[in-house]
Chain A
Amino acid sequence: MRKEKKRDFRRVKQILISGFIAVIILGILAFVTYGRAIPVLDPKGLIADQERNLILLTFGLGLVIVIPVFIMLFSIAWRYRASNTKARYEPDFANHKGIEALWWGIPCIIILVLGIITAVSTHALDPFKPISSSVQPVKIEAVSLNWRWLFIYPDEGIATMNYINIPKDTPINFMITSDAPMNSFWIPALAGQVYAMSGMSTQLHVMADSTGTFTGSSANISGDGFADMHFKVNSMNEADYKTWATNTFNSTKTTLLTDDSYKKLAVASHDSSQQTFLLMDYSLYNEIIMKYMSPGDSKVNSVDASGTSI
């Protein structure tokens, strides 16, 4: 008996030590996390905000299962430890229809609830779905290149590289394609990501609810310089945005973005600087998609050394 008591005591000590270690770990994690930007949990846009709420709701529903599991795991393991001879021992107790029905049933109910939430939220937050707003949306065509992002503002007649300016409280309609391997267009502070694929056009609709600068990136590996494929999103007041767009369009110093200069941009490069262009070919985005759709029809086809167009 005494030996068993001693062992139990040692166990208590072990549990205390592990608790202590856990607190230290949590402390370290809190220290290295505190004060850093957590865009997914601290969103700056309408869509990301709803996605955050959805994440928290799902997390809460999950805890309904996870917490009882942990309580049961540790309490049962402790109660029926071999040294505790007072606990009942029934080696043949292996079936109980009621108990089993309970844990087939409760998860089923939770998944049913979660399923309904999923069906509703997936349709509500479909990235292809425009945001309803009285404000006229801004259209931006995003093209992932090796290894940078080109943003075309067809309505403003301008284009930018590796940064976007957007007006706040205005729906932004992104059309997204790729002239490179598959990338993923992600601005965590504004909305979840969508793939950028060559020969196709995906969409993403976002709306910033505050001004500020957020970071976007490519979330999908696309080759050597993929880590450099991040860009800045400057959310600003509508007036500032208008001024910027008009000034850029009217400035004589802005570089021209023609079909030929685009071909140079499309060549693989590690240059991740921010640039601004005056758009010369308003159908450039479609030309980039067409490049992959049928042979030789696109104005931006590049021709490689062997003469085959790619």
Chain B
Amino acid sequence: MLQNILDFVFGRLKPSDFVHDPIMAGAGFAMVGALILAIIGLTYFKKWGWLWRNWITSLDPKKIGVMYILVSVIMLLRGLADALLLRAQQATDGSAGLLTSDHFQQIFSAHGSIMIFFVAMGIIFGVFNLIIPSQIGARDVAFPFLNSVSFWLFAAGMILINAPLIVGEFSTAGWLAYPPLSELQYSPGVGVDYWIWSLQIAGIGSLLSGINFFVTILKMRAPGMTLMKMPIFVWSALTSTGLIMFAFPILTATLGMLSLDRLMGMHFFTATGGGNPMMYVNLIWAWGHPEVYILVLPAFGIFSEVVSAFSGKKLFGYTSMVVALLAIAILSFTVWLHHFFTMGAGADVNTFFGIMTMIIAIPTGVKVFNWIFTMYRGRVRFATPMLWFMGFIVTFTLGGLAGVLMSVPPADFQFHNSLFLVAHFHTMIVGGVLFGAFAGFAYWFPKFTGFTLNERLGRYAFWNWIVGFLLAFVPLYILGFMGATRRLDHYDPSMGWQGLFVVAGIGVAIICVGVFFQLLQLGYSIWKRNDNRVGSDPWNGRSFEWSIASPPPEYNFAVIPTVTQRDEFWELKKKKHGSLLKSHYEDIWLPKNSGLGPIIGAFALAFGIAVIWHMWWLLIVGLVGVVVTLIIRLTSDETEEKMTAAEVAKHELKRGIV
């Protein structure tokens, strides 16, 4: 009787699920400890109200953007800790017994999933939230409440993917969980379910956010800003969100089917019962390859902004850049099969996808040349964003070369699933997305704080990163040639791989020093902020975000600017029309705060927990909760409040004096 009640309440959760080996338990305790500390701190300083009003319930995209970035930074540290463990295990060829094979496999699965979904995606959406509205001359995004829901779904997914540190285990099937390994037959535990539902919940958030920014860009540009007058970062965001709209529903469907296999005994991707695991591999890469471009196109946009601003020059070949973005976006849907040339699809099919893959190199190459030529006849200032740009071109070109090597199917037969492949995509994602994020961080930081980051510490961070990066990944390219496959928790010492693994481990340690300098830079810059105070336009920028105050007011623009040409703000400055302020203000409608976004996130989290642990009552609670909350929101009428013209004038006046 008691057992039945327990089973009903807790599903398949047992006390033993809380027991972990020391390393995982340590990480779990650290997370819980940090959380408790944060709670104590908030209570002690009586900051709960502040947190609730100013952040959690805020619908201001700038606030939401900061929260995205914060989550991403924390997840970056988690992913980096995972990487350190993986490297330590392989540097000792597994003989030190640091990690069991099961734990090792959980770590690399978590490392990949976290870095893609909760670091790279989080950064991308964070930057969209912070930059897009002000670059297009808008006060807000198209759907502010939806934006909050997206973030809290992302946060719920983030909690789910970290929960296995405390209760249960994570997937051991790799970051894409190929069946039949990820099916019940081979992975009966909760690990794959954790993977599915953290990605599913965060993925739905990403999809909603993608729609939101797509509509924002199409419908909310300042008067006169035609598509071809948009800043190039906005173009990159438009193509990236366009890709999200087409790619993420495929992920939702695929994860859904895998979950139905596991929950209801269906046979989509099972080895037996007529299921077709190859279908999963096709579907997941039909999402997965565009996903790569979803991440890297905005990084391209950031670099375009940075190189043009720091060269004091127009972006070279704007039209080419736009055409290249569109070409990459469209082509990205025609190459997914290159992730599994080795499945035996036949020479004709492989040839087609191989050549399509190579064709993507053309627009990408054009972008590289245009960036370089943006510096030509410019005045290039090598501030930290520009250092990241230089590092990006070097790593990205090398990684691209490796990519072209792998696009030739017979060559790929030798590279596939080897460490060469691992090195390739890390070169692209670290060198592309992450360096882009760092460049953007240093570039836009003063816009949202009013002071710049310390340059010297930034340079130290950069050099540690770039050296550590080369040390960490060049050995992996060589190891690929030696026949070392990915995801090995141990290997035969006679293979002669250990030296290179040790070098790779040292590389990651140096990257950690780089990250340390970045954190130090952040802390030091905040501490010494009064020494680095800057005005609204520290870099002599080109787009509208530099025309408004730093940090910007909640409404961004007191007066919506009018656009007649590309780089309007830069051209205005040239004509000495530095200020866009006019005395005529109008009423501004701003969304009221809403606690319903985080509540929906909480119910989604409950739903995720329920479906992972088979607590069916909680599943109903979560589902009903989400639906009812949505109905409450959609039937409430007064969701916005007015700031009158007089109030706006008062605000602007106050800022003018400060």
B599 lies within 8 A of chain A by Cβ: no
Contacts of B408 in A (CB 8 A): 54-55, 58, 114, 117-118, 121-122
Query: Taking the nearest CB of chain B, how far is it from the CB of A185, in angstroms?
Result: 9
Given A80-B377, A107-B366, the answer on whether A51 and B414 have CB atoms closer than 8 Å is yes
Given A31-B499, A122-B409, the answer on whether A194 and B344 have CB atoms closer than 8 Å is yes
Given A32-B500, A51-B414, A118-B355, the answer on whether A202 and B272 have CB atoms closer than 8 Å is no
A304 to B16, CA, bound (A): 26
Q: Do residues B482 and A29 form an inter-chain contact, with CB atoms below 8 A? A: no
B393 lies within 8 A of chain A by Cβ: yes
Query: Taking the nearest CB of chain A, how far is it from the CB of B191, in angstroms?
Result: 12
A72 to B377, CA, bound (A): 13
A90 lies within 8 A of chain B by Cβ: yes
Q: Determine which of B186, B278, B471, B482 lies in contact with A197 in the assembled complex, contact meaning CB atoms within 8 Å.
A: B278
Contacts of B471 in A (CB 8 A): 25
Given A80-B375, A122-B351, the answer on whether A55 and B405 have CB atoms closer than 8 Å is yes
Q: Is the interface of B mostly helix, strand, loop or mixed?
A: helix
A95 lies within 8 A of chain B by Cβ: yes
Given A128-B346, A203-B344, the answer on whether A103 and B369 have CB atoms closer than 8 Å is yes
Q: Do residues B413 and A80 form an inter-chain contact, with CB atoms below 8 A? A: no
* Chain B residue at minimal CB-CB distance from A304: B185
Q: Do residues B390 and A193 form an inter-chain contact, with CB atoms below 8 A? A: no
* Chain B residue at minimal CB-CB distance from A220: B417
A225 to B181, CA, bound (A): 13
Given A76-B376, A91-B378, the answer on whether A225 and B362 have CB atoms closer than 8 Å is no
Q: Do residues A81 and B404 form an inter-chain contact, with CB atoms below 8 A? A: no
Residues of A79-126 at the interface with B, using a CB-CB cut-off of 8 Å, are 80-82, 87-95, 99-100, 103-104, 107-108, 111, 114-115, 117-119, 121-126
Query: Taking the nearest CB of chain B, how far is it from the CB of A129, in angstroms?
Result: 8
Given A107-B362, A217-B485, the answer on whether A50 and B474 have CB atoms closer than 8 Å is no
Given A93-B313, A215-B495, the answer on whether A195 and B487 have CB atoms closer than 8 Å is no
A121 to B500, CA, bound (A): 32
Interface residues on B, range: 35 or more
* Chain B residue at minimal CB-CB distance from A187: B483
Q: Determine which of A89, A128, A186, A221 lies in contact with B344 in the assembled complex, contact meaning CB atoms within 8 Å.
A: A128
B590 lies within 8 A of chain A by Cβ: no
Contacts of B379 in A (CB 8 A): 80, 82, 89
Q: Do residues A193 and B393 form an inter-chain contact, with CB atoms below 8 A? A: no
A62 to B358, CA, bound (A): 11
Q: Determine which of A25, A88, A193 lies in contact with B342 in the assembled complex, contact meaning CB atoms within 8 Å.
A: A193
9-residue interface stretch from A36-44, A131-139, A149-157: A36-44
Q: Determine which of B180, B313, B412, B474 lies in contact with A91 in the assembled complex, contact meaning CB atoms within 8 Å.
A: B313
A160 lies within 8 A of chain B by Cβ: no
A73 lies within 8 A of chain B by Cβ: yes
Q: Do residues A219 and B418 form an inter-chain contact, with CB atoms below 8 A? A: yes
B31 lies within 8 A of chain A by Cβ: no
A48 to B410, CA, bound (A): 9
Q: Do residues B314 and A66 form an inter-chain contact, with CB atoms below 8 A? A: no
A226 lies within 8 A of chain B by Cβ: yes
B644 lies within 8 A of chain A by Cβ: no
Q: Do residues B344 and A40 form an inter-chain contact, with CB atoms below 8 A? A: no
Contacts of B407 in A (CB 8 A): 118
Residues of A13-46 at the interface with B, using a CB-CB cut-off of 8 Å, are 21, 25, 28-29, 31-33, 35-41
Contacts of A114 in B (CB 8 A): 358, 404, 408
B592 lies within 8 A of chain A by Cβ: no
B343 lies within 8 A of chain A by Cβ: yes
Q: Do residues B344 and A222 form an inter-chain contact, with CB atoms below 8 A? A: no
Q: Determine which of A107, A219, A230, A295 lies in contact with B365 in the assembled complex, contact meaning CB atoms within 8 Å.
A: A107
A184 lies within 8 A of chain B by Cβ: yes
Q: Of B102, B172, B408, B499, which is in contact with the most chain A CB atoms at under 10 Å from its CB?
A: B408
Q: Do residues B378 and A104 form an inter-chain contact, with CB atoms below 8 A? A: no
Q: Determine which of B185, B277, B278, B320 lies in contact with A310 in the assembled complex, contact meaning CB atoms within 8 Å.
A: B185
B481 lies within 8 A of chain A by Cβ: yes
Total contacting residues, chain A, CB less than 8 A: 99
Q: Do residues A29 and B503 form an inter-chain contact, with CB atoms below 8 A? A: yes
Q: Determine which of A58, A99, A127 lies in contact with B411 in the assembled complex, contact meaning CB atoms within 8 Å.
A: A58
B445 lies within 8 A of chain A by Cβ: no
A33 to B477, CA, bound (A): 11
B561 lies within 8 A of chain A by Cβ: no
Residues of B241-295 at the interface with A, using a CB-CB cut-off of 8 Å, are 271-272, 277-278
A212 lies within 8 A of chain B by Cβ: no
9-residue interface stretch from B62-70, B394-402, B426-434, B447-455: B394-402
B340 lies within 8 A of chain A by Cβ: yes
The contact string, 1 if C-beta is below 8 Å from chain A, for chain B 161-203, is 0000000000011100011110001100000000000000000
Query: Taking the nearest CB of chain B, how far is it from the CB of A288, in angstroms?
Result: 12
Q: Do residues B180 and A198 form an inter-chain contact, with CB atoms below 8 A? A: yes
Q: Do residues A39 and B346 form an inter-chain contact, with CB atoms below 8 A? A: no
Q: Do residues B416 and A104 form an inter-chain contact, with CB atoms below 8 A? A: no
Contacts of A95 in B (CB 8 A): 316-319
Query: Taking the nearest CB of chain B, how far is it from the CB of A216, in angstroms?
Result: 9
* Chain B residue at minimal CB-CB distance from A301: B272
B496 lies within 8 A of chain A by Cβ: yes
Contacts of B358 in A (CB 8 A): 111, 114-115, 118
A11 to B217, CA, bound (A): 42
B381 lies within 8 A of chain A by Cβ: yes
Given A192-B410, A292-B272, the answer on whether A219 and B351 have CB atoms closer than 8 Å is no
* Interchain residue pairs with CB less than 8 A apart (11): A37-B482, A50-B410, A55-B411, A76-B372, A80-B376, A89-B377, A104-B366, A111-B355, A122-B351, A220-B178, A227-B488
Q: Which 4 A-B pairs have the closest CB atoms?
A: A192-B413, A32-B499, A36-B496, A181-B181
- B-to-A contact residues, CB < 8 Å: 94, 101-102, 105, 172-174, 178-181, 185-186, 271-272, 277-278, 311-320, 340, 342-344, 346-348, 350-351, 354-355, 358-359, 361-362, 365-366, 368-370, 372-382, 390, 393-394, 397-398, 401, 404-405, 407-414, 416-418, 467, 470-471, 474-475, 478, 480-483, 485-492, 495-497, 499-500, 502-503
Other A-B pairs, 10, CB within 8 Å; known A62-B405, A119-B351 = A32-B503, A36-B495, A76-B376, A92-B313, A94-B374, A107-B362, A118-B355, A193-B416, A198-B180, A221-B178
